[in-house]
Structure 1
Amino acid sequence: MRSIELVLDPDSDAAVRAAWDALTAADLPSLGRSGTNDPHVTLAAGDALPVPDGFDAPVPTTLRLGGLLLFAAGAGRSVLVRAVVVDPVLSAFHSAVHRVAPDAVGTSLPGAWSPHVTFARRVRDEDLPAAVATLRATPLPETLTVGGVRHWDGGTKTVTPVG
C-alpha cells in the first residue's frame, strides 16, 4: 500500500510521540511500540499512488484536533485516534491531492475521508478506559503544525518528501 501524508513539525511530532510513550508506559497498545511509525495524517492511500510532483492548492500549515474517535479493529478491539477538523484549507488541499493521485481507496476520497492522528491500534475493549485516561493525562495542543508532505511506499518501505 502507498499513501500521501501530512507530517508534523518537530514540536507537534514530539507532542504526539509523548502520548504514544505514555500509552506504552501504561502497558497499553501504542504506535510508539514499533519504532518505525511517524505521526501523520493520511490524505490518500492506494496500491498504485504515484509520487506527486506538486499540488494546485497550498499545503495546510496547521491542523486543528477534534475529539477522540474509535475505529473498528476486529471483535472486541478498536483503533484509538484523534479527529482532525476539516477546514477550507485542508479540504482544498485534500481535493488537490486526489487530482494528482486519483486511484485511492474509497475511504480516503473526498466525502468519505475521516482525517485523524492515530495513537493505538487493536486496543481491547476492556483497555479503552485506561487508554482514554492516559491520553487525557498527556494533553496535546489544540493545533498541530504541519511540517510537510510525504509519499510512503509500504512495499519498499520508502519515504519520499513531496514539495
Structure 2
Amino acid sequence: MPIKTFLKTAAMSGIMSLAVIGHSFADDWVIKDSASDVVTTADQLIAAIDEAGATVFARVDHAAGAQSVDAELAPMTLVIFGNPKLGTPILQAEPKTGLDLPLRVLIWEAEGTTKIGYLEPDELKDRYDVEGADKVFEMMNGALNKLTDAAAK
C-alpha cells in the first residue's frame, strides 16, 4: 500500500474513532462555547496552563494532519497537559490511568461556534475504578473548569 493511501486511511480511521468516542462518552463531557476561534482559544488555554504552573506536553492540530493527507477537517486542536502533583497520586493508585493521563482538552469548530471540551475526571475515576484519590479528582475537576473558562473568554 502506498504511504499516501496508508496515511489517508489512518487519518480517516482516527477521525471516525473520535466520532465514536465522542458519541459513547457524550454524557461525560464538559463542553463550553468559546468567544474566540480555535487557534486563539488554544493559545489562551496554553497561557492559562502555563500561568497555573502545569506543563503543556503537546498541541495537536488535527486539521493540519488531515490536510497533510488531502482530507478536510474543520479547525480542531488537542492540548495535552498535566501537573505531576495531581497526576502522580492517580497513577500510583492505578497505573492503567496512564493511558488517559496527562489531561486532554479538545477545541473544535462546530456549526460556526468554537467549542472547548474535556472528559469529566470522574469518568477516569470510574473507568479505572480508582480508589483513594477523591480529593485529587476534585482538584483536577476544578483545575479543568478554571482553565477552560479562562480559555473560552
Larger % of strand: which? 1
* Shared fold per TM-score greater than 0.5: no
Which structure is higher in helix share? 2
For normalisation by structure 2, the TM-score amounts to 0.30
TM-score of the aligned structures, taking structure 1 as reference length = 0.28
